[in-house]
């Protein structure tokens, strides 16, 4: 923090939704290292407090705030608390998101015999639960739209304000088995472009990151075995990733800080893949 690269981020008020998670807590720490005041929003206040304490112990400035990104009243309460304690939001990172088993098929491809399987928990496309799909879509898309409505209004008329959404590389090409998550992230990417145009006359830039495969608490059991080895899906992913590894949380920092600083002041409406080349690789 003695010599931050992005000096213009110093004293900025950064709000990070889903800030208690593995990826977003890393993003929060990165902003704090540049001298920003970081507000960690999370439904789980305990995890938000852990991240906040981690930042303050390192000499940074942070505030933990409980908020539900699907509840306007909860978000408004969080905004009021932030405004009272540290000031108005300059940079919003919409990091809350995730998948749900009810919006996931068991197999990547439908076979005719699958229609006759009676194994408990086995799901084809025809078995997908609409509530599960709606949960995933709401968490990722509505959970991006609502915080943006609440926090971006105060950005209007102020300088160097921006929004960073978290999309996914499967917004470019959908992954097998997870139609709800793929569709929801595609909506986030589309919304990023739409909002960038909509806010272009009021000086608020809007961009997004599209992370590839990063090991998190949500996908670890799908990609790795208990002994640390890769599952079949994990091996397929590494085989299709030219850099031959999963992403590490720190891999998000460079693009995050650049897109959030005025060093990218003519950049808006882009979605940046951070995926080790996965989305560029044809497989041959």
Tell me how far apart the alpha carbons of residues 194 and 163 are, in angstroms, rounded to a whole number.
13
Tell me how far apart the alpha carbons of residues 160 and 157 are, in angstroms, rounded to a whole number.
10
> Which residue among the candidates 6, 137, 172, 181 is catalytic per the annotation?
181
From residue 211, alpha-carbon distances to 127, 214, 246, 253 in Å are: 29, 7, 10, 11
Tell me how far apart the alpha carbons of residues 59 and 53 are, in angstroms, rounded to a whole number.
10
Task: Please say if 181 is a catalytic residue.
Answer: yes
CB count in 10 Å sphere of residue 90 = 22
Catalytic residues: 181
């Amino acid at each position: 923090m003695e010599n931050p690269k992005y000096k213009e981020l110093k004293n900025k008020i950064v709000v990070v939704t889903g800030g208690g998670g593995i990826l977003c807590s890393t993003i929060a720490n990165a902003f704090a290292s540049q001298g920003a005041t970081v507000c960690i929003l999370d439904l789980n206040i305990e995890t938000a407090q852990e991240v906040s304490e981690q930042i303050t112990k390192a000499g940074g400035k942070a505030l933990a705030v409980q908020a539900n990104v699907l509840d306007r009243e909860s978000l408004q309460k969080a905004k009021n608390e932030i405004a009272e304690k540290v000031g108005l939001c300059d940079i919003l990172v919409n990091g809350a998101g995730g998948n749900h088993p009810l919006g996931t098929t068991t197999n990547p491809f439908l076979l005719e015999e699958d229609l006759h399987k009676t194994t408990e928990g086995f799901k084809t496309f025809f078995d997908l639960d609409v509530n599960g799909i709606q949960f995933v879509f709401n968490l990722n898309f509505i959970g991006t739209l609502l915080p943006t409505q609440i926090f971006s209004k105060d950005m209007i008329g102020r300088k160097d304000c921006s929004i960073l959404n978290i999309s996914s590389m499967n917004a470019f090409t959908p992954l097998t088995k997870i139609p709800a998550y793929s569709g929801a992230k595609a909506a986030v990417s589309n919304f990023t472009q739409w909002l960038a145009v909509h806010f272009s006359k009021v000086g608020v830039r809007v961009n997004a990151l599209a992370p590839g495969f990063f090991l998190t608490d949500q996908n670890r059991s799908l990609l790795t075995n208990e002994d640390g080895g890769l599952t079949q899906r994990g091996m397929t992913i590494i085989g299709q990733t030219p850099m031959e590894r999963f992403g590490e949380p720190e891999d998000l920092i460079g693009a995050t800080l650049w897109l959030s600083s005025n060093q990218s002041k003519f950049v808006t409406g882009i979605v940046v893949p951070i995926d080790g080349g996965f989305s560029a690789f044809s497989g041959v």
